[in-house]
Amino acid sequence: MLRLGRREFGPHEPVIMAIVNRTPDSFYDQGATFRDEPALARVEQAVAEGAAIIDIGGVKAGPGDEVTAEEEARRTVGFVAEVRRRFPDVVISVDTWRAEVGEAVCEAGADLLNDAWGGVDPALAEVAARYGAGLVCTHAGGSEPRTRPHRVTYDDVVADILRVTVGLAERAVRLGVPRESVLIDPGHDFGKSTRHSLEATRRLGEMVETGWPVLVSLSNKDFVGETLDRPVKERVLGTLATTAVSAWLGAQVYRVHEVAETRQVLDMVASIAGHRPPAVARRGLV
């Protein structure tokens, strides 16, 4: 059982985490949800389309202008509080690597801290434990936040992913984070080449076999673009194909831009796997 905020999710229940970037320079939407009103409209639409988790980020993942902890908090804390007020049952996640920001957003009502940079600030897990919040433990290959990989190598990328993510998850539980609220993430693109991310996808079942729920953040990423030689705005089909493979291999949480399309893919895979009945089953019966 995965438990986040007020919600519980069964072992075969795929969960959508919708991305809401509170940044003026996000790689995909170029700041479309930087202002409050469009961001709140995005939350409302994502929930209506089937997202159970809203992931709020205040700093662009890639290189760019410096964003201090104070500015990151200014972009996220008040927004978290407003989403909590308007959507009391939605799971609120915040994408941050900074403990001080984690503390502020948990005070405002966040249920989950999405540490995409692999524990670069060890105190973030302590914050999650103190507030009873969930934690995403990600493999970033030891990269510093907001840096791009350069000629990174692994003897076995999946072995390294398992070592790091399981280690972070076990540490989080020792600190007091509820075990049922800890997820592991292979960190596609983070500290990885395209071939590394493809191998991580191909061998995702090895992460699932650890028993920790697996989150994948695949949406429109560079490994999809490079694999198909497509720019950012033409990566949806590749993302959905990767989503279907990940679902078949047992990933549970999907961090996405396109919620409705992802919902259909996940429902179809769940039905093929026998975990979900067809919405309608008339063919050959009437």
Spatial contact of 17 and 254, defined as CB atoms under 8 Å apart? yes
> Per residue in 36-49, pLDDT tens?
999 999 999 999 99
15: confidence class by pLDDT, cuts 50, 70, 90: very high
pTM of the model: 0.97
> Per residue in 75-132, pLDDT tens?
999 999 999 999 999 999 999 999 999 999 999 999 999 999 999 999 999 999 999 9
| Percentage of the residues of the chain whose pLDDT score is greater than 70 | 100
pLDDT given at position 26: 84
Return the amino acid letter for 218.
L
How crowded is residue 222: how many other Cβ atoms within 10 Å of its Cβ? 18
pLDDT given at position 27: 78
Query: What's the whole-number mean pLDDT along residues 52-69?
Result: 95
pLDDT given at position 31: 82
Lowest mean pLDDT among 26-30, 172-176, 245-249: 26-30
Q: What phi and psi, each to the nearest 5 degrees, are found at residue 253?
A: -115, 135
> Per residue in 243-268, pLDDT tens?
999 999 999 999 999 999 999 999 99
Q: List the catalytic residue out of 22, 75, 235, 255.
A: 255
35 in active site: no
221 in active site: yes
25: confidence class by pLDDT, cuts 50, 70, 90: confident
pLDDT given at position 17: 98
> Per residue in 190-200, pLDDT tens?
999 999 999 99
Return the CA Rg of the chain.
18
Distance CA 147, CA 189 (A): 11
- Classified as helix, coil or strand, 61 is coil
Distance CA 164, CA 184 (A): 9
Does 30 have pLDDT greater than 80?
no
Spatial contact of 193 and 149, defined as CB atoms under 8 Å apart? yes
Token duo for residue 119? 């524990």
Does 28 have pLDDT greater than 90?
no
pLDDT given at position 29: 80
Token duo for residue 106? 């948990």
pLDDT given at position 133: 98
Q: List the catalytic residue out of 148, 221, 282, 283.
A: 221
